[in-house]
Structure 1
Amino acid sequence: MGFLAWVGDPKVTRHLLREEGEVVVDEVRHHWVAFVRPSVEGLGALLLLVWSPFVDVNVAWFLLVVAFLLAAHAGWCALRELRDRFVITNMRVFRVHGVLSQHLATMPLSRILDISVKKPLHGRLLGFGHFCFESAAQEQGLRDIKYVGRPDERDLAIQRVVQRSGLRGPRVPN
């Protein structure tokens, strides 16, 4: 396992209820569009670093500091997006995110009342969308999941798991 894979893995399997028979149906990472901003910042830092030897010494140190700060911010944002995972299991859905501290928000399948899939125009063109979960609770930590790749397939996977668990009632044949 490489260093980036080791640092970027939030280790979702340790949050599973193995004794109860919980298994992962789908582990959703962010779509590549979520990494555009950190990539642009990193490119800007690289350009400042390349440009700094060609300017006055009194200005070059400032450009180097700005390039370092920009690169650090880009790395932090990329790592934050990389460690943000949305997991669908046969019992619940949960989200694990955070770099230094980790936050876990979970919702049992029985509490999901409605799932809204928002696909802006550029999301439809590039293949991503945003999930909005509605439940009986007013505020929960698992409301908005942004930059989900293949959102229609993921929505159908959640609906399938909910249906198979028997929470929506029996299927009535036509």
Structure 2
Amino acid sequence: MPRVHAVADGTPDSVEVDLGVMPRRVRESLLAQLAEGERIVIRTRQHPLVLARHALWPLLAAWAWWWLVVDVEAAPRLIDLVLLVFLVGLARLAWKELGRRYTWFVATNKRILKHEGILTRTVPMMRLTKVTDMTYHRTVGGEIWNYGTIVIESAGQQQAIRELRYIPDPDEVNAALNSEIFGERPRRRRPGRPRPWSRLVRRDPPPDPPGDGGEPRGGPGGVGPGGGGRARPPAPPSEPETWYRSSGRRPTGRLGDTGEIPVVRAGEDPADQDAWAAEDTDGQAREIPLYPPPEWVDRA
């Protein structure tokens, strides 16, 4: 059985179907109130726990009647008086339940309506453009039995609809109202989220660029000045190697493109680090190991 707040289609053509769950008197009254081309966003009525306080009177009267008859064996007049209190409380509870069935809250793409009344009829309404703020509140009982209160604030001092109490499934109702009033699409819950970053792929460094004379830097054999020395590290390429290019990711809408993260390589021999401690004669800065660590690299 579908929930009372779930509309069938949410289009102007499905208004009569969306109102079909209501009593005939309420359905005809709301159809007369809606304009041509207006569609229903949400429809609901109060949670049954709104009757909990009214049900307390007949329950206490029934317990008192049982206690007087079985345990005390009181006078018949007292028993009849308690029985009368029980019947009155039961009739009052039935009237409140009938009023709950005839009280409906309906939100369309243009206004918010609330139909109430059994013998009489009251339909307060308010345009969505007048809504400035909304407050969503759930008590401990609301968390357990799934109901809540939505308070609607307007720019004017007097408003026809302000507090919607004992709304069932308040999370979904509040999300639908926010979507229609403030233009915010409700977040869709996904069972599992993908990894927020892409897996790093190892990239081999480009070949060493030739020197000014067409030979590798440092003379033939790639050794430093004087020859016979330890081979110097290759010169950095013209375009630095990168591990991550943020323009390939889907934009997050916060910081935008963060640019590229360069990879700076250093020799594995500790003696190389001593040889590169000072800057080169041509102003080339020494290379130091940076991120990413080796275990982040997919070597497959």
Given the two structures, how large is their TM-score scaled by the length of structure 2? 0.47
Task: Say which structure, 1 or 2, has more relative contact order (CA 8 Å, 6+ apart).
Answer: 1
Q: 1:18 to 1:31 in 2, by over 3 A?
A: closer
Deviation at 1:81, TM superposition (A): 2.6
In percent, how many aligned pairs have the same letter? 25
Deviation at 1:106, TM superposition (A): 0.5
2:135 to 116, 120, 139: 116
Given the two structures, how large is their TM-score scaled by the length of structure 1? 0.76
Structure-to-structure mapping, 1:1-174, within 5 angstroms: 9=23, 11-16=26-31, 17=33, 19-47=35-63, 55-162=74-181, 174=253
Unaligned runs of 5+ in 2: 1-21, 184-251, 254-300
Larger Rg: 2
Q: 1:79 to 1:44 in 2, by over 3 A?
A: farther
Whether the 8 Å contact between 1:48 and 1:67 is mirrored in structure 2 is no
Task: Give the Cα–Cα distance (whole angstroms) in 1 for the partners of residues 147 and 122 of structure 2.
Answer: 24
Deviation at 1:88, TM superposition (A): 1.2
Give the letter for the 2:55 counterpart.
S
Deviation at 1:11, TM superposition (A): 1.2
Summarize deviations over 1:129-173 as a string: whole Å, max 9, x none: 111111112111200110111212111111222356xxxxxxxx9
Give the letter for the 2:167 counterpart.
V
Q: Which has the higher strand share?
A: 1
Task: Give the Cα–Cα distance (whole angstroms) in 2 for the partners of residues 125 and 13 of structure 1.
Answer: 35
Whether the 8 Å contact between 1:44 and 1:70 is mirrored in structure 2 is no
Q: Which has the higher helix share?
A: 1
Give the letter for the 1:82 counterpart.
R
Cα RMSD between the aligned structures? 2.7
Q: 1:49 to 1:24 in 2, by over 3 A?
A: farther
Task: Give the Cα–Cα distance (whole angstroms) in 1 for the partners of residues 107 and 121 of structure 2.
Answer: 18
Deviation at 1:43, TM superposition (A): 3.2
Give the letter for the 1:139 counterpart.
Q
Task: Give the Cα–Cα distance (whole angstroms) in 2 for the partners of residues 137 and 12 of structure 1.
Answer: 30
Summarize deviations over 1:3-58 as a string: whole Å, max 9, x none: xxxxx835145324555212222211112321222333343454456667654222
Paired positions, count? 159
Task: Give the Cα–Cα distance (whole angstroms) in 2 for the partners of residues 59 and 18 of structure 1.
Answer: 54
Give the letter for the 1:11 counterpart.
V
